[in-house]
Chains A and B, each alone.
Chain A
């Protein structure tokens, strides 16, 4: 943004859209395991993700644009996760929260998906078993950076087929 003495501001629409979107993330907590405890402490008063504009927890994927996959995803749960992701409206982002969601973690076995990026695209990976809330917030800030720099598709009506 460039401000000028004549009290007006120039910017790019894409930049403003990125700024608006990164501070209004409605997240859907897909919590399956013990990482959920860290998610709770991140979301609640002590660490308070509302400071970063992501405090609005929605319990319907149709109302949310940030999918937090918190915990182990088994092979049997994988199609459910895919369905939840598909039900979210664009634009949408995904955070893989904790070692299990990132890579399967300690569950290197027959039943567990070895990283949710085998099923759905992931924007930010937060490692740790479980990650500290500070790490989660760091991941959230990295996602916000990414959203800010993204090329936002806002020309809905002019989009080429």
Chain B
């Protein structure tokens, strides 16, 4: 089996922006600096690695951490049959990160979902609206501090 090179290549090229690189249970994972996302994503998207599929893009809320939100990106390369996971931390005060819509088209709705559920903003997103909740919904329901049993008034029916 061909040795997986993406991780070591990333460490070589972007050593200053890579905070951690590991492969827990065989899943290659890099933790990067927030500002380097676009640069690293573009490098992985293009040959020789060609991670042409953005499998998933989501956010996790860790209320006890200093940088509360963690963005998680899963990429897949069809040519290498390799996966890679990118993580980056976002503080609540500046919960915004570069949009990947320019590199992967499906990032559009995934980022809208993350914005809807966690309130993370994506700079450069073409149409950053809520995806699941209605327009009048206040707050972001998947944040850990959103009250579990909180109810909001629904949408008024058309008359």
Q: Please report A residues at the B interface, Cβ cutoff 8 Å.
A: 75-76, 78-79, 82-83, 86, 108-111, 113-114
Count how many chain B residues have C-beta atoms less than 8 Å from C-beta atoms of the other chain.
Answer: 15
Most B CB contacts (10 A, CB to CB) among A75, A86, A110, A113 go to A110
* Interface contact A76-B155, CB-CB below 8 Å: yes
Report Cα–Cα, A75/B132, bound state, in Å.
10
- As a 0/1 sequence over residues 137 to 159 of chain B, the CB contacts with chain A under 8 angstroms (1 = contact) are 00001000010111110111110
* Interface contact A110-B155, CB-CB below 8 Å: no
A interface: dominant SS: loop
Known: A75-B134, A76-B133, A76-B134. A110 touches B151 (CB 8 A): yes
B interface: dominant SS: loop
Known: A76-B155, A79-B154. A108 touches B134 (CB 8 A): no
Q: Please report B residues at the A interface, Cβ cutoff 8 Å.
A: 132-134, 141, 146, 148-152, 154-158
* Interface contact A78-B152, CB-CB below 8 Å: no
Report Cα–Cα, A76/B154, bound state, in Å.
7
Across-interface contacts of B155 in A (CB, < 8 A):
75-76, 78-79
Nearest 10 CB-CB pairings of A with B? A79-B157, A82-B157, A75-B154, A110-B141, A78-B154, A79-B155, A76-B134, A83-B157, A83-B158, A110-B150
Known: A109-B141, A111-B133. 4 other contacts (CB 8 A): A78-B154, A79-B155, A79-B158, A110-B150
